[in-house]
Amino acid sequence: MVDLTNTRRIGALVPATNPVVEPDFYRVVPPEITVHFERMWNGAWGSQPGTSTESGHVDSGHRLSMSSAEANEVEWALFGFDVVKMNDDVARGASALSNIGPDVLVYACTSGTWHKGYMAYDRSMAKLMEEASGVESITAVSSCIAAMRRMGSRKLSIAGPYRNYHLRNRLKPLMEEAGFEVLSADGAPWMEDSMNPREIDMDPPQAIIDFAAEVAQDDADTIFLPGTAWRALDAAEELERRLGKTVITVNQATIWMALRRLGWTKPIDGFGSLLRSLE
């Protein structure tokens, strides 16, 4: 039996539509540490009771009258609008979590802070959480950057459950601002016809492994798998064995960062080299 009298606590903000973050944390975080979640309404996809659940998109008729870049920008603007609405719920969520006395708060959504394409917005979310809760706060994006630096990453191949256009025009510039060389950024081809985050968690780990292995550049030292609702945690170990490269998944990195903040120093096996590097 684990004595929880003096346990350390992680509080995590999760998009309303995300069914993956919680089981990933529960499987990896040691029993001496408890994890507590609060959901954020993420716009049309995570609509509050009594509101529409239809996701914003550009219909095919309008798409035909636009260039590909224009259509992508419009759809990303709609997606970004929903993300901004979700982020309007961050202060409330952080304040609610503060009531359980967490030692660290986590913003467990990647696109929620990289959709703007620059680091200042990511930092503003952590600051907002800290001001609302009085608790040290980290984001998924900042956790991934810290993890890559810890592992000595320099050259990245990004593979994620987003469209190519969005990865290459938003996440790639942010990672370059953070000091990495991005050799490639590829969205899963089956996501090209969808902007609905409820579909991200449907990808089995083997599909993620095969896709990431296919698009990884030979010169990349690190494969980065964003998307907290993507089941990439279970892909990390096999993908590292197959490619001989470091694999950073967003949930893996966020857990790693939270554990470091709590002073956890014991390696954790089974989810890639990053968690084995804890010391």
CATH number at residue 237: 3.40.50.12500
Amino acid identity of residue 57, one-letter, is H
Distance CA 103, CA 11 (A): 8
What pLDDT shows up at residue 193? 66
Token pair belonging to 87: 């982020």
Residue 41 lies in a domain: yes
Per the CB < 8 A criterion, the answer to whether 157 and 221 are in contact is no
Residue 128 lies in a domain: yes
Per the CB < 8 A criterion, the answer to whether 258 and 272 are in contact is no
Residue 179 lies in a domain: yes
Dihedral in degrees, nearest 10, Cα atoms 112, 222, 155, 204: -50
What pLDDT shows up at residue 172? 96
Q: What is the DSSP letter of 176?
A: H
Per the CB < 8 A criterion, the answer to whether 183 and 249 are in contact is no
Q: What domain count does the chain have?
A: 1
Q: Which domain holds residue 210?
A: 8-276
Helix H or strand E encompassing 247: strand 246-249
Per the CB < 8 A criterion, the answer to whether 167 and 160 are in contact is yes
Q: Render each residue's pLDDT in the chain as its tens digit; 279 residues.
A: 556 667 899 999 999 989 999 999 999 999 999 999 999 987 544 444 444 334 444 344 444 444 555 555 545 444 555 777 888 999 999 999 999 999 999 999 998 888 787 799 999 999 999 999 999 999 999 999 999 999 999 999 999 999 898 899 999 999 999 999 999 999 998 877 665 666 789 999 999 999 999 999 999 999 999 999 999 999 999 999 999 999 999 999 999 999 999 999 999 999 999 999 999
What pLDDT shows up at residue 232? 98
Per the CB < 8 A criterion, the answer to whether 109 and 18 are in contact is yes
Residue 265 lies in a domain: yes
Per the CB < 8 A criterion, the answer to whether 106 and 14 are in contact is no
Residue 2 lies in a domain: no
Distance CA 209, CA 159 (A): 10
Residue 1 lies in a domain: no
Distance CA 248, CA 254 (A): 10
Q: What is the DSSP letter of 200?
A: G
pTM of the model: 0.87
Residue 65 lies in a domain: yes
What pLDDT shows up at residue 163? 87
Residue 77 lies in a domain: yes
Q: For the chain, what percentages of helix, strand and coil (3-state, to nearest 5) are there? A: 50, 15, 35
